């Protein structure tokens, strides 16, 4: 590694470390004060509270890497510009890639680290944090149970089981309802391709209702059946955590299986691409940050870098969220919706790069 490359990378990582530490620290402080009253009210032990925040930290770190990368690119190169070090490199006949290339390569490594950390440690430990909060701190038991392929929910005299549940549309796919007596004997079983919330109640479509009486079973098919049940969509809010809890490979297999069985897998495909797109954010924002720093010249600095970094991150998140929301609503293809933000900001960064003073 050349001396200049080592110097640029060391300078970049120094700013990156400070930015990441600040992001994680602010996040944890805000989260702590939001949950402080609950911890005291439930008389939870400080060991459990510390373990809870410790388990959340890896996922927070993976979420903070992109913005820290952007700030490091803006501030790091901005300080070099301000100290006239970039001018000295140009005077020596070196092009922009000599001092910007190491930052781009480092950002690429950080993108891979973001994805790897989130999948190997962030999500598993975040699940553990949720479990610690529910069982040891809040002391509440969830009525929702999951495997990677099935959704189970114990309702009021009804046991719900479904292949897929879409919480945004309140639709169960591949659903079975077990109606139980007070002594937990099976009285009826309903199988339906979909069970959806109409606003007034649940509606089952394309299925069969089986009644068990006097040790005999009678079955009746239906196209549409109105159900009068006490459960409401808000009772199933915990279901939204399913795609977020699976690692990427398991989620990919799950989405493929759902599509092969003919069910709607938009939610899971969107989540798959979201994880990859967000991991690439570090690279995209680093290129954008470098390009802007080259345009700013010696006017770059810490204050301006932080201001631009926060503004660009906000704009990126807005574009990303709009795209993801449209993908979930099936207004556009998940690939288009999720990757739109990266494509737009990458094109912007590339355009600024080629127009910047080299």
Highest mean pLDDT range out of 130-134, 153-157, 217-221, 251-255?
217-221
Is residue 278 in a domain?
Answer: yes
Among candidates 220, 212, 208, which has minimal Cα distance to 185? Answer: 212
β-strand 186-197 against 202-213: which pairing, if any? antiparallel
Q: Same domain, yes or no, for 111 and 162? A: no
Is residue 246 in a domain?
Answer: no
Q: Same domain, yes or no, for 265 and 125? A: yes
Q: Is residue 345's pLDDT more than 80? A: yes
What pTM was estimated for this model as a whole?
0.72
**Mean pLDDT, residues 201-211:** 95
Is residue 184 in a domain?
Answer: yes
Residues paired with 160 in a beta bridge: 153, 177
Tell me which of 341 and 90 has the higher pLDDT: 341
Q: Same domain, yes or no, for 276 and 199? A: no
Banded model confidence at residue 148, pLDDT cuts 50, 70, 90: very low
- Single residue among 217, 235, 253 that ends a domain in this structure: 235
Q: Same domain, yes or no, for 100 and 213? A: no
Q: Same domain, yes or no, for 60 and 157? A: no
- Single residue among 178, 200, 235 that ends a domain in this structure: 235
Highest mean pLDDT range out of 153-157, 182-186, 269-273?
269-273
Helix then strand count (H, E) for the chain reads: 11, 7
| Containing structural domain, residue 81 | 3-139+261-355
Banded model confidence at residue 301, pLDDT cuts 50, 70, 90: low
- Single residue among 235, 269, 286 that ends a domain in this structure: 235
User: Backbone phi, then psi, for 38, in 5-degree steps?
Assistant: -65, -40
Q: Same domain, yes or no, for 104 and 22? A: yes
Tell me which of 76 and 111 has the higher pLDDT: 111
Q: Same domain, yes or no, for 184 and 323? A: no
Q: Same domain, yes or no, for 19 and 130? A: yes
Q: Same domain, yes or no, for 134 and 162? A: no
Q: Is 97 exposed, middle or buried (0-12, 13-18, 19+ CB in 10 A)?
A: exposed
Asked if 268 and 168 count as a contact pair (C-beta separation under 8 A), the reply is no
Among candidates 171, 175, 169, 172, which has minimal Cα distance to 209? Answer: 175
Is residue 115 in a domain?
Answer: yes
Lowest mean pLDDT among 90-94, 161-165, 178-182, 212-216: 90-94
Q: pLDDT per residue over 207-234, tens digit each?
A: 999 998 877 889 999 999 999 999 998 8
**CA neighbours within 13 Å on the CB side: how many for 325?**
6
Q: Same domain, yes or no, for 156 and 214? A: yes
Is residue 247 in a domain?
Answer: no
Q: Same domain, yes or no, for 229 and 283? A: no
Is residue 326 in a domain?
Answer: yes
> Distance between CA 327 and CA 266 in Å, rounded?
8
Q: Same domain, yes or no, for 125 and 163? A: no
Is residue 270 in a domain?
Answer: yes
Q: Is residue 142's pLDDT more than 80? A: no
Is residue 325 in a domain?
Answer: yes
Domains: count for the chain: 2
As a whole number, the mean pLDDT across the chain is: 85
Q: Which residues contact 185 (CB under 8 A, 6 or more apart)?
A: none
């Amino acid at each position: 590694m050349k001396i200049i490359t080592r110097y640029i990378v060391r300078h970049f990582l120094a700013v990156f470390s400070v930015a990441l530490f600040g992001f994680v620290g602010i996040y944890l402080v805000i989260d702590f004060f939001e949950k402080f009253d609950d911890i005291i009210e439930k008389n939870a032990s400080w060991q459990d509270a510390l373990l809870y925040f410790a388990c959340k930290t890896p996922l927070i770190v993976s979420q903070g890497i992109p913005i820290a990368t952007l700030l490091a690119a803006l501030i790091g190169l901005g300080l070099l510009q301000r100290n006239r070090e970039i001018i000295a490199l140009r005077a020596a006949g070196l092009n922009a890639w000599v001092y910007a290339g190491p930052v781009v390569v480092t950002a690429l490594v950080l993108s891979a680290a973001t994805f790897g950390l989130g999948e190997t440690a962030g999500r598993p430990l975040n699940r553990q944090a949720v479990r610690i909060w529910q069982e040891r701190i809040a002391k509440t038991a969830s009525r929702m149970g999951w495997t990677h392929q099935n959704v189970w929910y114990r309702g009021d005299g009804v046991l719900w089981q479904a292949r897929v549940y879409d919480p945004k549309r309140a639709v169960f796919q591949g659903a079975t309802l077990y109606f139980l007596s007070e002594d937990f004997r099976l009285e009826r079983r309903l199988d339906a391709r979909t069970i959806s919330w109409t606003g007034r109640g649940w509606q089952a479509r394309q299925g069969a209702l089986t009644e068990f009486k006097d040790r005999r079973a009678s079955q009746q098919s239906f196209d549409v059946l109105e159900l009068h049940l006490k459960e409401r969509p808000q009772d199933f809010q915990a279901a939204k955590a399913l795609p977020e809890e699976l690692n990427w490979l398991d989620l990919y297999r799950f989405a493929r299986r759902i599509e092969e069985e003919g069910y709607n897998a938009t939610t899971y495909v969107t989540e798959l691409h979201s994880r990859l797109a967000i991991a690439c954010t570090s690279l995209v924002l680093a290129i954008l940050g470098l390009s802007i720093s080259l345009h700013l010249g010696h006017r770059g600095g810490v204050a301006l870098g932080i201001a631009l970094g926060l503004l660009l991150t906000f704009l990126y998140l807005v574009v990303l969220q709009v795209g993801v929301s449209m993908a979930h609503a099936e207004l556009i293809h998940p690939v288009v919706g999720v990757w739109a933000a990266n494509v737009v900001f990458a094109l912007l960064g590339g355009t600024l790069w080629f127009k910047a003073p080299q």
